[in-house]
Homo-oligomer: A and B are copies of this chain.
Amino acid sequence: MSLLDVLTQYRKDPSLAAGPASLLPDAETLDQSDPLRHKRDEFLLPAQSVYLDGNSLGPMPVAARQRAQAVLDQQWGEDLICSWNKHSWIDLPQTVGDKIAPLLGAAPGQVICCDSVSINLFKVLSAALGLNPGRRKIVSQRDNFPTDLYVVQGLQQLLGDAQRELEVLPEEEIEGALDDQVAVLLLTQVNFRSGYAHDIARLTRAAQAHGALVIWDLAHSTGVMPLELDQWNVDFAVGCGYKYLNGGPGAPAFVYAALRHHAALRQPVAGWMGHQSPFEFSPEYTPAGDIRQFLAGTPPILSMSVLDAALDVYRDVDIRQVKQKALDLADYFAARMMEFPSLQSLELATPLAHIERGAQLAYVHPQAFAICQCLIAEGVIADFRAPNILRFGFSPLYLSFRDLDKALERFAVIMKEELYALPEFNVRKKVT
């Protein structure tokens, strides 16, 4: 019986979960048969906590720490400006892009590391609209990550509201809204709140059947969801370096642009690093003919180097195993939660079908904010998303099933004793 089967049975008949005999294998057994268990040694994990927020900020890989040291002491400290050549700083955006490519199912030369997800969305959205002239509609999802919608609104305002129309729809109405007016379908694969995962292949086909281009935001996918962007014929994608890729706080993001668009596209944030020959210092902008045309200014070398090193954690990993373990961890967590009476007030908001899920679970509770603060104080690092969502991320390269037991035991006490009601856990913070 798979972990999902147990979870499904528990949900069908909660008395099974409440009973004395657990249907779940014990955590130690699961850890022993985990093919990824050796990867944990490649991370520097906080001593006392169980870290269930790798979907927001991944922990530090050992290799990243070492690289940071080398960039500081040798590269910046000693070789200074010569490092642009000597340590290949100039190639970093492409080097990192080519390391991310296999995680996306992308042939080399189609991914580049640069800037932030927001800025990269602005670039690819402008480029996609330029490739689809005469169409005015951009379709997206009402509860997309807000920055995706803000980027559309910012561009709309710049181009004049009359020229572009943003249609934001509930999840279930998107496919039906695709028609021959649509220029671009802009979606995030895994919903940041609910953890629901779109079927990229199907929606891409549907949009392209109407002549639309697609842009996928893979912030909550990259490094944990098996992706086949080339095979699925995706046009553009963007994603994040600091979540499952463990590239450090605010690590640079990336752009995927299908090779077939490289010659015709034009992205508007033109800067010297995207020029065909940046060191000719020509006054006329001639974009690089390849993926480098998405570069603008000088990249933050320290942050990008750390991401480069962090990506080496993936060198010997099969991404399908990563996804499977993420699902197993989540299934175990959700099923085991049902065995604690005090945790029954939390309502799961993530679909159960594996095909419809990312690597996180969302639970709804009216006191979600205070519960999250209390969990953190007790060393269970989760996060809160307004108005009432408690998110748990299951990043598989360093989490064990025993970690989840430890987290759930603390969680159960917090709920049983209502510790979250203490005033200290009910003070709003700047970042929630």
Chain A residues close to B by CB (< 8 Å): 44, 46-47, 49, 51, 53, 56-57, 59-60, 65, 68, 71-72, 75-85, 89-91, 115-119, 122, 126, 130, 142-147, 149-151, 153-155, 157-159, 168, 193, 242, 248-253, 266-275, 279-285, 296-304, 306, 376, 381, 383, 385-386, 429-432
Contact = CB atoms under 8 A, between A and B. Distances in A.
Contacts of A157: 266, 268, 270
A383 to B, nearest CB: 7
Contact of A154 (B71, B285, B432): B285
A270 B77 contact: no
Contacts of A304: 250
Contacts of A122: 268-269, 296
Contacts of A56: 81
Contacts of A44: 77
A268 B159 CA distance: 9
A307 B215 CA distance: 34
Give the top 8 A-B pairs by smallest Cβ distance, nearest first. Answer: A116-B297, A118-B271, A154-B270, A118-B297, A249-B301, A158-B268, A300-B303, A84-B431
Most buried by B among A47, A306, A385: A306
A369 to B, nearest CB: 11
A77 B248 CA distance: 9
A282 B46 contact: no
B119 A119 contact: yes
Nearest to A252: B300
Given A65-B72, A81-B56, A119-B119, A153 B300 contact: no
A432 B90 CA distance: 11
Given A51-B80, A147-B297, 8 more contacts: A71-B249, A118-B270, A144-B283, A150-B271, A154-B270, A157-B270, A158-B268, A159-B159
Contact of A80 (B59, B80, B272): B59
Most buried by B among A83, A85, A115, A284: A115
A200 to B, nearest CB: 22
A302 B306 contact: yes
A271 B248 CA distance: 20
A46 B78 contact: yes
B432 A248 contact: no
Most buried by B among A72, A75, A150: A150
A136 to B, nearest CB: 15
B296 A118 contact: yes
Contact of A300 (B126, B251, B269): B251
B119 A269 contact: yes
Nearest to A120: B297
A37 to B, nearest CB: 21
Contacts of A53: 80-81
A271 B49 CA distance: 32
A75 B149 CA distance: 31
Contact of A85 (B60, B144, B431): B431
Nearest to A301: B249
Nearest to A270: B154
B431 A90 contact: yes
17 contacts: A59-B80, A84-B430, A115-B297, A118-B269, A119-B119, A130-B158, A145-B281, A146-B285, A147-B297, A153-B285, A168-B283, A249-B298, A250-B300, A250-B304, A279-B432, A302-B302, A302-B306
Nearest to A84: B431
Contacts of A150: 270-272, 274-275, 285
